[in-house]
Amino acid sequence: MALRNIVVEGDPLLRKVSRPVDQINDRIIKLLDDMADTMYYENRGIGIAAPQVGVLRRIFVIDIGDEHGKLEFINPEITYREGSQVFCEGCLSVPGKTADVERPAKIRVKALNRKGEEFELEAEELLAVCICHEYDHLEGILYIDKAIDGVINEVES
């Protein structure tokens, strides 16, 4: 198991747009494994994007504890959005805070898996929230930017 340091709010890396992965090589596979280790190690981590470990590549890993298990997304694209839902979000890179954020109720996402195969997934509820949240990281956007009425809650971490 290898853990990576989590980049936290205030670091300019979190505000950069990540670049696509052009080749899924051993370094990318190691990055995926380390990202999952880091996500599972950190309490309540249900998703992690590469910029959160300081790598500006279009990759994220999600495990919300449902039947999908661990999902890895390389060069993801959200191809469909429908409806809206509000969910109270948190983020490993914004410790001690939560905020209500409005997201699509249903999305479709297309990405590559670690074998370089394209897959498509339809998601609703928490999984849709999580995918949109992680996708935003690849664009340099944090959920606190989208807090409803700018309200950000302080919580005990």
Could you list the residues that contact Zn ion (CB under 5 A)? 91
CB of 93 closer than 8 Å to CB of 44: no
* Closer by beta carbon to Zn ion, 8 or else 24: 8
Among the options 117, 134, 139, 156, which is catalytic?
Answer: 134
What strands, in cross-sheet order, belong to the sheet with 106-112? 47-49, 59-62, 71-82, 106-112, 118-124
Give the C-alpha separation, 149 to 37, whole Å.
34
Assess whether 9 carries a catalytic annotation: no
CB of 95 to Zn ion, least distance (A): 11
CB of 115 to Zn ion, least distance (A): 26
Give the residue at shortest CB distance from Zn ion.
91
* Closer by beta carbon to Zn ion, 55 or else 91: 91
CB of 78 to Zn ion, least distance (A): 16
Q: In 3D, which of 129, 112, 26, 21 has the Cα closest to residue 71?
A: 112
Catalytic residues: 134
